[in-house]
Structure 1
């Protein structure tokens, strides 16, 4: 991950909102033989007794489940929209092109939960992703018991205690104001992902260049 201060997002609420907006995260680690493993799982973040906790569930007896049982150190990567940025858009076009993107990396310790806790995690998860709509047919409490019993035998809940959070919001903060505006205008005319990045850049213009720019 880039360790450049001008690419770091310092606003904790922005980071929390980013995790909520892009919850389908890569959960990575190493097994007992130090071989890398990874899976993609939707997770959500909570704060309990001053600690940040990621919650989710996964299939039992998969390679990643077995690996995390042996090694509880995990890296969770949340990736947002990204886009190509042409060097021809800079005030000095004789510079290499690049890629703008947003990403949050969380280091943590994973802990698997028991069957009684699985029920609560599934309840919280379904409510979270259904925007607390308790009338939804997919809410845990509204599902048939036979379905819940079959599914619950195949999955295990987990929580990840957050140890460290790092970010890269690489949005052309190292360019001059003219280049920055040119990039925004070009991205607005391109793909949806580019338009999202352009919108994020617009929000940060005054922070990067000051109100008088």
Structure 2
């Protein structure tokens, strides 16, 4: 991780909201031969018995399922919008360009869950992406029983006990006030990613430049 103190986000609520906004996480681990494995799945943060956990599901008997059975250590990376920042936007343009982005890294211990927990995870996941519309035909409880039984036989729910959370919200915090505002103005003219990053920078402007 790009580990510089001025790029860190320390507000726990902001971190939780970020994970909730961008739940499609990149999960990594190592298999029995110590080869890296990775998969991308929706993962949700929750509090359970006074501890924070991540919950989701993956296919059974895949490389990542077998790897996590062998090695319970897992890294989940949540990534948000990102955008190019031209050095020509700085008050001193003779500096290299860069990239602004936001990312949360969660390290923890994974364990696999039973069918009851799998139902809970599938219900939660389908409701989330169907905007909590309980009438949607694709919400877990509304799916045909035969289909649910067949699908559940091929997947497994997991829970990750969170051991460490690290962040990088690289949003030009190391620039002077003039450069910072000019970057915001330029990003507002860009695509959605640029505009989202500009909005995040605006939230922090008063604290950075009181």
Pair in the same fold by TM > 0.5: yes
Alignment of 1:63-74 (within 5 A): 63-74=63-74
Alignment partner of 1:29 is 2:29: yes
Secondary structure at the aligned position of 1:94 is classed as coil
**CA–CA distance in 2 between the matches of 1:117 and 1:170?**
36
TM-score (norm: length of structure 1): 0.95
Q: Structure 1: 5+ residue runs without aligned partners?
A: none
**CA–CA distance in 2 between the matches of 1:109 and 1:207?**
36
**CA–CA distance in 1 between the matches of 2:192 and 2:23?**
19
User: Equivalent residue for 1:59?
Assistant: 59
Secondary structure at the aligned position of 1:57 is classed as strand
User: Equivalent residue for 1:155?
Assistant: 155
**CA–CA distance in 2 between the matches of 1:117 and 1:205?**
43
**CA–CA distance in 1 between the matches of 2:73 and 2:5?**
26
- CA RMSD of the aligned region, Å? 1.0
Q: Structure 2: 5+ residue runs without aligned partners?
A: none
State the 1:129 CA deviation: 3.0
State the 1:142 CA deviation: 1.1
Secondary structure at the aligned position of 1:200 is classed as helix
**CA–CA distance in 1 between the matches of 2:6 and 2:127?**
36
Alignment partner of 1:169 is 2:156: no
Alignment partner of 1:190 is 2:190: yes
Task: Report how many residues are paired.
Answer: 210
User: Equivalent residue for 2:76?
Assistant: 76
**CA–CA distance in 1 between the matches of 2:118 and 2:77?**
23
Shifted more, 181-190 versus 129-138: the winner is 129-138
